[in-house]
């Protein structure tokens, strides 16, 4: 059972789908963007390294002869031309003694060159190294040995800054963030829209399920998609149709068979046998007094109308107290309490039903007299005890009933009851003695009993 805290933090499926799809979009965009930016940075670094290598190689080749001839003017011009490239941080030419012969800063010409810490010394091959610039960023250092006729005459040190790379990547990252933001917004909108589309039929299914749980089986949901949800909706409609037909059969069947029996049959249709079993039950027999003379004096239509009024009362009052109206016996009815559904207070339910029958028939009789029709009265017999309950008949037609001495005794008590009387056996009275007002009528002889039985007349419920 859900707790109040789980209800408080409950998220709908629409919100969950929206959050999940949005999260997937955000992660996908960020991962792809980071991957592409990283690849772009690698490619740009490779490109600028190649360009720096080409410039360093060409500059070294151009400065070789002026370096040998000590043409400082030409060397200075070559350095200035190299520095015009915005990616070149420095260009330094040194002689064989590592003294600067050409530099962007003329004040350093003639001084020994000072290399950044951590860089390897130049050998016989071009050396490409990277180090951190104190001003920020990184420098790609190209160290080129210069030889003339296989004799070392000096060296070129060319520094390429990755500043342009970083600016390009920063601009691309900013643009990516904007694009990512727009894609996230679009993704959220698409996720919400998709979630609504996906959850709308599910919500309708939930509403339909609640309607069926409330007993409304006449419901059909539109199938709006050809997918699993559409299949589920179609299955729901078939289930609702089946339940609707089952309910119609149940209502029609209940007109002929007790509701409790119908329920048991529909629960276990393949197992329905209602084999005989001993049950503690209470049986009521209620008979309309003076019915035979009434049929002789009234037209058949009025007789049928009177019987229908009588039966309607008996049925409604029996069902109201969870009883089973078992038989219609002409102008009499037989009702059972405690079978097929067992109740521990089946005897008291029967007594309450009998008192209600007595009051209802008295009111009906008064209405008939006011309309100028014949009066009506009943006699009731009640007997409680053990009986055999089960189905009798054949495989083609069966009837659920109870059989035994208690049934016969209830019928005998009813036949001895005067108009307006409710007679019960002594055993029955003791089961409800503290809940009713009754009068002992002494002993009477009934058919089928060798010894007289003690009879009580119930007149009402105890205050």
- In this prediction, residue 13 carries a pLDDT of 63
Q: Of the ranges 150-154, 370-374, 425-429, 448-452, which is most confident?
A: 425-429
Tell me the mean pLDDT in the region 259-284. Answer: 68
Check whether 270 has a pLDDT greater than 70. Answer: no
Distance between CA atoms of residues 161 and 119, nearest Å = 16
Beta-bridge mates of residue 152: 147
- pLDDT level of residue 256 (50, 70, 90 thresholds): very low
Q: pLDDT tier at 353 (50, 70, 90 boundaries)?
A: very high
Tell me which of 51 and 284 has the higher pLDDT.
Answer: 284
This prediction has a pTM of 0.48
Q: Would the CATH topology of 13-167 be identical to that of 266-461? A: no
Average pLDDT, the chain: 82
Q: Give dist(CA 400, CA 264) in Å, integer.
A: 12
Percentage of the chain beyond pLDDT 70 is: 88
Task: Give the pLDDT confidence score for residue 182 in this predicted structure.
Answer: 80
Please write the tens of the pLDDT for every residue from 13-71: 667 766 777 777 778 777 877 777 777 777 777 877 888 888 888 988 898 888 888 89
Delimit the domains of the chain by residue range.
13-167, 266-461
Task: Say what the pLDDT of residue 158 is.
Answer: 92
Neighbours of 39 (CB within 10 A): 10
* SS3 category, 454: strand
Which range among 72-76, 204-208, 281-285 shows the weakest confidence by mean pLDDT? 204-208
Q: Is the separation of the CB atoms in 347 and 384 below 8 Å?
A: yes
With a cut of 60, say whether residue 422 has pLDDT above it. Answer: yes
Neighbours of 326 (CB within 10 A): 21
Using the predicted structure, report yes or no on whether residue 275 has a pLDDT greater than 50. yes
pLDDT for 6 equals: 46
Q: Which CATH superfamily is domain 266-461 in?
A: Nucleotide cyclase, GGDEF domain (3.30.70.1230)
Report the SS3 class of residue 125.
coil
pLDDT interval class at 459 (50, 70, 90): very high
For the chain, percent of residues with pLDDT exceeding 90? 27
Name the nearest CA neighbour of 309 among 359, 253, 360, 256: 360
pLDDT for residue 418: 92
Q: Classify residue 255 by its DSSP letter.
A: T
pLDDT at 255: 52
69-84 average pLDDT score: 90
CA angle 230, 236, 237 (to 5 degrees): 90
What pLDDT score does 1 carry? 46
The pLDDT assigned to 271 comes to: 47
The answer to whether residue 325 scores a pLDDT higher than 50 is yes
Whether 231 contacts 215, CB under 8 Å = no
Mean pLDDT calculated for residue range 205-227: 77
Q: Sorting pLDDT into bands at 50, 70 and 90, what band is 265?
A: low
Domain 13-167, classified CATH 1.10.287.3510, yes or no: no
């Amino acid at each position: 059972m859900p707790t109040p805290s789980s209800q408080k933090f409950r998220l709908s499926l629409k919100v969950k789908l929206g959050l999940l799809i949005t999260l997937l979009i955000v992660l996908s965009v960020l991962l792809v963007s980071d991957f592409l930016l990283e690849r772009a940075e690698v490619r740009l670094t490779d490109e600028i390294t190649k360009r720096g290598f080409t410039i360093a190689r060409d500059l070294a080749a151009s400065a070789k002869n002026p370096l040998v001839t000590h043409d400082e003017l030409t060397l200075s011009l070559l350095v200035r031309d190299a520095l015009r490239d915005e990616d070149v941080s420095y260009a330094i030419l040194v002689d064989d003694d590592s003294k600067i012969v050409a530099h962007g800063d003329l004040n350093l010409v003639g001084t020994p060159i000072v290399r950044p810490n951590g860089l390897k010394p130049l050998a016989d091959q071009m050396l490409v190294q990277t180090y951190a610039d104190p001003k920020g960023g990184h420098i790609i250092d190209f160290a080129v040995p210069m030889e003339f006729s296989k004799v070392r005459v000096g060296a070129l040190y060319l520094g390429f800054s990755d500043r342009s790379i970083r600016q390009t990547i920063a601009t691309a990252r900013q643009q990516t963030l904007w694009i990512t933001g727009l894609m996230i917004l679009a993704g959220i909108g698409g996720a919400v829209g998709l979630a609504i589309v996906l959850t709308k039929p599910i919500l309708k299914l939930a509403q339909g399920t609640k309607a069926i749980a409330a007993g409304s089986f006449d419901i059909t949901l539109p199938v709006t998609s050809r997918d699993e949800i559409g299949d589920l909706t179609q299955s729901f409609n078939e289930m609702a149709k089946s339940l609707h037909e089952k309910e119609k059969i149940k209502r029609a069947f209940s007109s002929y068979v007790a509701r409790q029996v119908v329920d048991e049959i529909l629960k276990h249709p393949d197992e329905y046998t209602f084999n005989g079993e001993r049950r503690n039950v209470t049986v009521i027999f209620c008979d309309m007094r003076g019915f035979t003379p009434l049929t002789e004096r009234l037209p058949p239509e009025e007789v049928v109308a009177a019987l229908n009024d009588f039966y309607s009362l008996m049925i409604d009052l029996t069902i109201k107290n969870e009883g089973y109206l078992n038989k219609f016996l002409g102008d009499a009815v037989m009702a059972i309490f405690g079978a097929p559904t067992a109740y521990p207070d089946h005897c008291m339910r029967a007594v309450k039903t009998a008192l209600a029958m007595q009051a209802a028939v008295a009111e009906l009789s008064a209405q008939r007299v006011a309309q100028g029709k014949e009066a009506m009265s009943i006699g009731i017999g009640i007997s409680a005890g053990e009986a055999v309950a089960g189905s009798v008949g054949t495989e083609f037609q069966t009837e659920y009933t109870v059989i035994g001495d208690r049934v016969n005794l209830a019928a005998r008590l009813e036949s001895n009851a005067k108009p307006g009387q409710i007679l019960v056996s002594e055993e029955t009275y003791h089961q409800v003695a503290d809940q009713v007002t009754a009068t002992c009528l002494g002993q009477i002889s009934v058919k089928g009993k060798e010894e007289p039985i003690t009879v009580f007349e119930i007149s009402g419920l105890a205050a």
